């Protein structure tokens, strides 16, 4: 049985994951409108991953006898100046999500909720991967700078990304 504190925190994390999904969908749509279909694809896959994270927490909360309380999703930005700005925003956001996951993990330890802590292990590992991937893309964007050919090639590369359901 979950404590009320953990149940409330998991509901907050579900909202954060769904907000993340909404953010990445907005980024995808913005880059689609700008003709950068590869960047749009990358963010669309990111949107799907964030939805899966939220659903995994919903399923977990329900399986532990908790009550899922969906809250409104706060408004997200809808345009970005360029891919570099979008990916810098993405890295900032992923670092915030990492902090939220770490805080939830610490709370699970305080509450001696070993099942929740175990569930969060996959989220902790996922965040390491998320931050690393985004950092690599930022490095690539910094490398190509304003070179149209480099941006074209990176757009094509990111267009190859395919959604693979995370094992959460």
Question: Region 28-34: what's the mean pLDDT?
Answer: 98
164, pLDDT greater than 80: yes
Closest residue by Cα to residue 84 from 163, 144, 24: 144
Q: What is the pLDDT of residues 102-117, one digit of tens each?
A: 999 999 999 999 999 9
**Residue 146 near residue 124 (C-beta atoms within 8 A):** no
17, pLDDT greater than 80: yes
Axis crossing angle, helix 114-144 with helix 83-110, rounded to the nearest 10: 160
Helical residues (DSSP H) of 64-147, grouped into ranges: 83-110, 114-144
Domains and CATH numbers, the chain: 4-158 (1.20.1260.10)
pTM here is 0.94
**Residue 102 near residue 142 (C-beta atoms within 8 A):** no
């Amino acid at each position: 049985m979950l404590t009320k504190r953990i149940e409330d925190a998991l509901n907050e994390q579900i909202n954060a994951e769904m907000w993340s999904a909404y953010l990445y969908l907005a980024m995808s749509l913005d880059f689609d409108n700008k003709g950068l279909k590869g960047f749009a694809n990358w963010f669309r896959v990111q949107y799907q991953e964030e939805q899966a994270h939220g659903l995994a927490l919903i399923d977990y909360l329900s399986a532990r006898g908790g009550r899922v309380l969906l809250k409104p999703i706060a408004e997200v930005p809808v345009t970005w100046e360029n891919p570099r700005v979008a990916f810098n925003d993405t890295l900032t956001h992923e670092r915030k999500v990492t902090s939220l996951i770490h805080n939830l993990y610490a709370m699970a330890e305080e509450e001696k909720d070993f099942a929740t802590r175990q569930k969060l292990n996959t989220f902790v590992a996922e965040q390491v991967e998320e931050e690393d991937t985004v950092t690599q893309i930022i490095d690539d964007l910094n490398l190509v700078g304003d070179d149209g050919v480099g941006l074209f090639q990176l757009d094509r590369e990111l267009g190859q990304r395919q959604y693979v359901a995370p094992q959460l």
